Structures are given as structure tokens and as C-alpha cells.
Chain A
Amino acid sequence: MDPIIATFIEENIVPNFNYWIYVILMMIGLYAMITKNNLIKKLIGMAIFQTAIILFYVSVGVKDAANIPIISHHGSEHHQMTDLSSETDSTKEIHNTIDKDKYANPLPHVLMLTAIVVGVSTLGLALAISQKIYKSFGTLEEDEILNKLRPGGHD
């Protein structure tokens, strides 16, 4: 790629691209929930809406050149063992402190972990209710269900 284009993308597109896609996915999910006629399609739209919110949260917690939020102590332990004799207490203290810029922000990850698992249980319950609706009305299309619910409608 041309270096000028690459720097342009990196400076102007990349800092906001995640947020743009989160809004676009949310619009897609909301549109599907409002206008789609089929109940399963509405549920797919709901799941897309939900992942859009999760995408926003996880994007907020990303740090440049940061590691995953699991502290790797093997490396530092090994280092401490090799030159244990030459190390004073003050340098040990420096080794033990954790630089928070080195690790991604764990708080959004925790919140979204719970959101995903609750999401699948609500999805399962919604699918159960739509199966029950199919059993009662013989269709999953919203307009046909409304027709049958109307007093003049047959069945």
C-alpha cells in the first residue's frame, strides 16, 4: 500500500472506525427488529443489536500495545531467580509493581462476559415463545398472526 494512504488511514479512519461500525451494526439490528415480518428474523436482529453494544464496550477497553488481561509471572520469576543475589529489595519492588498500561482494561470484559451469557438465555426463552406461537397460530409471520388475532379473522 502507498505509505501516504496508509498514514492517512491510520490517523483518520482507525481511531473512529470501531465506533462507526458499532453504530452501523446497531442500525442494522434496530431496523430488523422494527421492520422484519418474521419472528426469527427479529430475534437475529436482536442478537446483532446486542453484539453491537458489546463491540462498543470492548472497543473502549483497548489500549495500544497492551497485552491480554492475564498477568504473566513466569518471565519475571525466572528473572528474579537468575540474579537473586545481586538484587536489592528496592529493585525487587520495581519488578513486582505492575504497569497498568501493559494490560488491557479488564472491567469491560467482565461486564460483557455476563452480557453474552444472559443474552443466550434470553434468546433461548424467546425461541421457546416463538415455538409456542407457531404451535398456536401455525405461522411465524407477524401480519398473519395479527390477522388471526383480529375478531373478523378466521381461526
Chain B
Amino acid sequence: MKIFGLIAVLVVGALLLSATSDFPDWRDKDSPANESPVSSFYIEKTEKLTKVPNMVTAVLADYRSYDTMFETVVIFIAGIGIIAVLRNFDGPNSSSIKRENNDEGGGLLARFTCSLILPFIQIFALYVVAHGHHSPGGGFQGGVMLGASYILAALAFGLSKAKDIFSERRTMIFAAVGIFIYVGWGVLCLLFGKEFLNYEALDPILPGDAKMARSHSMLIVEIGVAFTVTAIMFSMYSNLSTRGRLSKGL
């Protein structure tokens, strides 16, 4: 078995290595990918048309917003899939037992340090979400950081304490609300008489001109993405670390 695998891998690798000599040079600014009209359009016109200096966020949330919408749906479905595969509803009612032996979570030093650092992590995550179209960041990064802050709380203070803040029911409601914000914003564009997710339609209800409407809409959409990603990351951790029982963390 091993030798066949090695032969297959070597054949594939040799073919690909022989193909690399035909690639354009690394850092070549005249290569076909960098000369293509699509990326030239994004670089030259994005700031004029949307008033967003970060091209990556603009392309992610505006030009390719269908892609991002269904990617958020993929994350949501993955979270539901983990619950469907792993969640174990029968078994002892853990919440009453858990309160008595309070030995999970870290020691005194870990608890104290985490209680100091958690607010800053969460504020920075919100900043990353809100400032994503002027600096690196956006809904995915900020959402993952916010989810990671709850994971840190679960590691330091125990999963039951984190569950008090962010219960399973609340997690799934958050995840659904994120997608609802995203899709609802697209439907709002339909109601104003333009295409689905064409943000210029929302000019009458948003401050600024039509270009600023696109910029503001990106913020709303990123907030929706951040809701879903936060909830699913925390749900993923809490299910995987307890084998679906949600009773005792790491």
C-alpha cells in the first residue's frame, strides 16, 4: 500500500514540477493573472465606485457578495452538521451536576489573566469587524476572534460558565440571525427596485450618496457574517471538546 501511494505521489509531483517551468516568474507584474482586465478593474475602479480603500473587502462584500453569502451558509451548515453528528442529548442532565464539582477551567493565575485580557480581545474583534473596509480585517476575521474570545473564556473559567453567557440556544439563534441580516439586506435591495444585493438601491435610506451606500452596506453585511462565524466557531469548539455532551470541557 505504501509503495503504491509513494509511486502515485511521485508521478503527480514530477508532472507538476515539470509544469512549473512554464509558469510566469514569481513577482512578475506582467503575468497573465496580474494583467487580466478583472483585477485591473478592481484595483483602479474600486475606490472610485465604492469609496472603500481596502480592495479585498470591497470585492468580497460587494462584487462577489453572492459568493460570500453562500460561504456563510456553508459555515452555518457545517455547524449544524457537527451538531447532527456529535450532539448527544441523552445522558445525565449535566448542568445540575456541574455546579457542584467546580474543578474545570484553569487555575487562579489563568483565570485572572483571562479576565484582564478578554475585554480587550472582544473590543479589538469588534474594531476589526467595524473597520474592515479601511484596514485588514472584516467579518470573518472579527467573527473568528470574537468566537475565540468565548473559547478562551470556556478554557479559563470552564465551559458551563461560558454557556451561561452564550448558551446553545442563543448560539444557534445568533448564527441564523447573521444569515438573516445578510439575505435580508439583499432582499431590501430588491424592494427598492434594483437587483438582489445591488447596494446602490439603498441610497434613499442611507446617509451619503450612492457610493457611500455601497460602503455602508458592506459594513452591515460584514456584521451579519461576523454573527454567524462567532456563533459557529463557539458551537464547533463546545461540541468537539465535550464529545457532544456540552457538560465538561477540556
Contact = CB atoms under 8 A, between A and B. Distances in A.
Physical contact A–B (CB less than 8 Å) = yes
Interface of A: 14-20, 23-24, 26-27, 30-31, 34-35, 59-64, 66, 68-73, 96-98, 100-101, 103, 105-110, 113-114, 117-118, 121-122, 124-125, 127-129, 131-132, 135
A135 B240 CA distance: 13
Contacts of A35: 1-2, 5-6
A31 B6 contact: yes
B33 interface: yes
A113 B27 contact: no
A52 B241 CA distance: 28
Contacts of B21: 16
10 contacts: A16-B25, A18-B26, A19-B26, A24-B13, A62-B26, A68-B136, A105-B43, A121-B232, A125-B81, A128-B82
Contacts of B2: 35
Nearest to B133: A70
A64 B28 contact: yes
B38 to A, nearest CB: 6
A128 B239 contact: yes
B78 A69 contact: no
Interface string B46-85: 1110000111100110001001100100110011011001
B34 A61 contact: yes
Contact of B43 (A60, A98, A127): A98
Interface residues of B, number: 63
Contacts of B140: 113, 117
Contacts of B229: 117
Contact of A70 (B8, B20, B55, B60): B55
B56 A132 contact: no
Contacts of B20: 16, 19-20, 23
* Prevailing SS type, chain B contact patch: helix
A65 to B, nearest CB: 8
B170 interface: no
B79 A128 contact: no
A66 B67 CA distance: 27
B78 A121 contact: yes
Nearest to B79: A121
A127 B78 CA distance: 11
B89 interface: no
Contact of A103 (B33, B55, B78): B55
A113 B56 contact: yes
A110 B60 contact: yes
Contact of B26 (A59, A72, A109): A59
Contacts of A59: 26
A155 B85 CA distance: 22
B173 interface: no
B5 A34 contact: yes
A124 B82 contact: yes
